[in-house]
Chains A and B, each alone.
Chain A
Amino acid sequence: MSYLAGGLAGTMLRVDLTQGQASRVPTPRNLFEDYIGARGVGAAMLFRELEAGVDPLGADNKLIFLTGPLEGTLAPGANKIVVTFRSPLTGTYSFSLCGGHLAPELKFAGYDGIVVEGKSEHPVYLWVDNDQVTLCDASHLWGRLTHDTEDELRAEIGDPDIRVACIGPAGEKLVRFACIQADYHREFGRGGAGAVMGDKNLKAIVIRGTGHVDVADPPALGQVAEDVYAQLAQHPKARARRQYGTPEMVEGVNKLGFWATRNFTTGYFEKADRLTGTRLKEELYMGDNSCYACTVACGKISPVSKGPFAGTAIEGAEFETIGLLGANCGVADPAAIVAATAICDSYGFDTMSAGVAVSCAMEAYEQGIISLSDTGGIDLRFGDGDALVAIMQQIADREGLGDLLAEGVVRAAQQLGVPHMAMHVKGQELATYEPRGVVGMGLSYAISPKGGHHMIAPTMGLEVAGDPDNRLRAEGKAEMVRDTQLIMAVVDSLALCSSMRFVLGPQSMLELYRAVTGRHLDEEQAYLIAERITNVERLFNVREGFGRQEDTLPERLLSEPMPTGPSVGSTVPLDTMLEEYYALMGWDADGVPTQERLQELGLEAE
């Protein structure tokens, strides 16, 4: 008997695109017990269902969409849906979380997740109308931009309140960092899930749900939800994000010298004052859009009113986007960043990976390794907003240099003969925290199972709390990374927005979980599950041949001292932190989980 008395819809969809069939199957409740939900269950399913060595861009790869137990209930900030897949960018296990209104809609339709497998011969979209599930021809949508696709599907189905996740031309053209777009400006952003979907000829997933999910203890849930909503209204971090969105972080990160600038050649952007949250609120923001059940409303509506990009509007740009398309490309013009982001959103590719690919090309251009004839006439200098937008369009169209950059920074840099300029881990382009200025993030990037990503163990806040100089020291960072990684595994598996973790301590999260599912988990048990998730992710990558050698950083960050800014002189002392981290995790010197640890986690059979 299951000891999850609520929170699950109880049914999942399994969609075989090769056969053109969709079937309803029982939710694997045991996996939701052992791995909580969303990210955790996805990791376990992908590990079990994928053979070693499948081609990420082939029929054997899968897209496993999963919600968590809290979605579609009263739980605040429970709006994430995760997709798990083998990444065409890295070859590793990967997952990506999308906010907006998709996840609760899927639960309301009666499903905990959708497993997409095989490959359709022609473009199709999946129409999930409560218990009616159909694969529909999508030939007329192929080639259309993401917003157009959403609009067209809403018009075609005749219901403006349906939820749509779709790919744009970038996914269709297999841009390796293509994303899946939803609600116009929410996305499954990282790792190239959009390319996998494009390869499968699946243009969109459309959902209408009019039911509900039962919860175990309604009175308790009502009370906890009231409490958490009240805390959210008061919490300083939540309030800052409500005002300024995620760019509230620009000032602090730059001031402490860990904002990746001009392709990670330094960690301090001298024009950052043009991109701070307060400045953007004054000059750009015109309103706020929220994901489901969230008071933070960090989606800032940003229309451009003047200049060459007038008429462009997005929701964003997020902190990471402003960092990687802005500072990291040396661009301080918000209008150009909005225009570049608008191309990413409407063609459907990751702003972060795109920013790092472009910054690599900019560095190569400035050093004379590539020229105007390579760039198709674009004067691809750091700081040139017009050039940024122009090269972004080339990526979107897969034309000229853009076609090469669309392969991701590792492949592009290799081709251009500048592998040392590729700022990545395992082929995943780095996030905007310059690890020389915040060394724990260096370890985070290095050990991240999906390659250089910041949200696996976002330690930056902890590293500067109290004594900001602590950010440059290696001591204690392995433990900090390990602990943060475990908390995030819980947050992502409950499928709460990561912004919630500031407000909801582990205790509140587990209270929500108990009220919804009826199952009491104490912190220790939750972290044990988190460790199980982390190890299964690791096992997937070990099976694909990844080991200590790949748990590294670009040489620049390891051996070239930070040249300017408040973190001047610093490098990332990775080896010491890495060894300590492996020991804490119970992994051997090559980063492989020991049998002993796997047994403790109940993973010996895996």
Chain B
Amino acid sequence: MTHKVLVVHPQKCTGCRICEQWCSWSHHTVVNPAKSRIAIHRLHHRYVNVPVACSQCTKAPCIEVCPEGSISRDPETFGLILDQETCIGCRLCLESCPRGCIKVDADEGMPLLCDLCGGDPQCVKHCPEDAILYLEPDKVDRGYREFHTCQGLGGEGRRRNELLGGWTGWYYAAS
């Protein structure tokens, strides 16, 4: 497995949503968060911004669940490709995504899937904080290790957890 994947770091994200701008711009030539494959979800009460992006699952539920076999991989990048001819717009892929990152294009009635911009993901390219990275699978853990030992619950994050709550478990923090 040599394809690179998207890796997000909520602790670095400021919530500027520049990634959303460029994602929708590069795919649709408009700025519209509702058409961006990546979404920044701000948990106001915890002062946290969570980038919600496709993680290129090894066994992708969106592909497996699709009743029409409309979702495939780009052989080179591993990015998702939607066959608009056969897709019926049932949204099972949206429901199955473990990160909740799939949206529906309201004009087309079709899911918006991350195609990794052909190997040059625009969200990564434009993120001013390196809060989203495009990494080889054997390197995806590095940033997290540093974070959890230096800033996370082993370090500065303990203080944050006490003060603001929810330094761990980003995706559950909202509930």
**Chain A residues packing against B (C-beta within 8 Å):** 72-74, 76, 101, 108, 147, 150-151, 160-161, 183-184, 210-214, 218, 222, 229, 232-233, 286-295, 297, 299, 301, 303, 305, 311, 313, 315
Q: Within 8 Å CB of B18, what residues of A?
A: 76, 229, 293, 295
Shortest beta-carbon distance from B75 to chain A in Å: 29
Q: Within 8 Å CB of B128, what residues of A?
A: 229, 232-233, 295
7 residue pairs bridging A and B, Cβ less than 8 Å apart: A160-B41, A160-B43, A161-B39, A210-B33, A218-B29, A288-B14, A301-B164
Q: Within 8 Å CB of B148, what residues of A?
A: none
Shortest beta-carbon distance from B139 to chain A in Å: 24
- Please, which residue of chain A has its CB at the minimum distance from the CB of B30? A212
**Chain B stretch 33-65: residues in CB contact (< 8 A) with chain A:** 33-35, 39, 41-45, 47-49
Shortest beta-carbon distance from B46 to chain A in Å: 10
Q: Does B84 contact A (CB under 8 A)?
A: no
A286 and B16 within 8 A (CB):
no
A290 and B31 within 8 A (CB):
no
Q: Does B4 contact A (CB under 8 A)?
A: no
Shortest beta-carbon distance from B156 to chain A in Å: 8
Shortest beta-carbon distance from B38 to chain A in Å: 13
Given known contacts A74-B25, A161-B41, is B15 in contact with A229 (CB within 8 Å)? no
Apart from A161-B41, A214-B30, A289-B47, 19 more pairs, CB < 8 Å: A76-B18, A108-B32, A108-B34, A160-B43, A183-B42, A210-B33, A212-B30, A212-B32, A213-B31, A286-B160, A286-B163, A287-B11, A290-B15, A292-B17, A293-B16, A299-B14, A301-B164, A303-B163, A305-B162
Shortest beta-carbon distance from B34 to chain A in Å: 4
Q: Within 8 Å CB of A295, what residues of B?
A: 16, 18, 128
Docked CA distance A222–B34 (Å): 19
Q: Within 8 Å CB of B30, what residues of A?
A: 212-214
Shortest beta-carbon distance from A308 to chain B in Å: 15
B16 and A291 within 8 A (CB):
yes
Q: Within 8 Å CB of B27, what residues of A?
A: none
Shortest beta-carbon distance from B113 to chain A in Å: 18
Q: Within 8 Å CB of A222, what residues of B?
A: 25
Given known contacts A72-B31, A147-B45, A313-B164, is B126 in contact with A290 (CB within 8 Å)? no
B44 and A150 within 8 A (CB):
yes
Q: Within 8 Å CB of A150, what residues of B?
A: 44
Docked CA distance A301–B47 (Å): 7
B41, B47, B164 interface centre (most CB from chain A within 10 Å):
B47
B41 and A151 within 8 A (CB):
no
Q: Within 8 Å CB of B1, what residues of A?
A: none
Docked CA distance A72–B24 (Å): 12
Q: Within 8 Å CB of B34, what residues of A?
A: 108, 210-211
Docked CA distance A16–B54 (Å): 44
Docked CA distance A222–B14 (Å): 22
Q: Within 8 Å CB of A301, what residues of B?
A: 47, 164
Docked CA distance A318–B141 (Å): 36
Q: Within 8 Å CB of B15, what residues of A?
A: 289-290
Q: Does B159 contact A (CB under 8 A)?
A: yes
Q: Within 8 Å CB of A287, what residues of B?
A: 11, 47-48, 160
Docked CA distance A147–B43 (Å): 12
Docked CA distance A306–B16 (Å): 30
Q: Does B174 contact A (CB under 8 A)?
A: yes
Docked CA distance A218–B18 (Å): 17
Shortest beta-carbon distance from A357 to chain B in Å: 29
Q: Within 8 Å CB of A293, what residues of B?
A: 16-18, 21
Given known contacts A147-B44, A289-B49, A313-B163, is B16 in contact with A211 (CB within 8 Å)? no
Candidates A151, A161, A292; contact of B16 at CB < 8 Å: A292
Closest 5 CB pairs of A and B: A290-B16, A212-B32, A290-B14, A210-B34, A297-B14
Docked CA distance A429–B108 (Å): 53
Q: Within 8 Å CB of A315, what residues of B?
A: 47
Shortest beta-carbon distance from B117 to chain A in Å: 14
A305 and B159 within 8 A (CB):
yes
Docked CA distance A311–B159 (Å): 11
Given known contacts A305-B159, A305-B163, is B32 in contact with A210 (CB within 8 Å)? yes
Docked CA distance A229–B127 (Å): 10
- Please, which residue of chain B has its CB at the minimum distance from the CB of A229? B126
Docked CA distance A299–B16 (Å): 11
Shortest beta-carbon distance from A255 to chain B in Å: 29
Shortest beta-carbon distance from B69 to chain A in Å: 29
Shortest beta-carbon distance from B172 to chain A in Å: 14
Candidates B17, B31, B47; contact of A313 at CB < 8 Å: B47
A101 and B44 within 8 A (CB):
no
Shortest beta-carbon distance from A129 to chain B in Å: 13
Q: Within 8 Å CB of B49, what residues of A?
A: 289
Candidates A211, A288, A292, A311; contact of B32 at CB < 8 Å: A211
Q: Within 8 Å CB of B164, what residues of A?
A: 286, 301, 303, 313
Q: Within 8 Å CB of A212, what residues of B?
A: 24, 30-32, 35
Docked CA distance A233–B16 (Å): 14
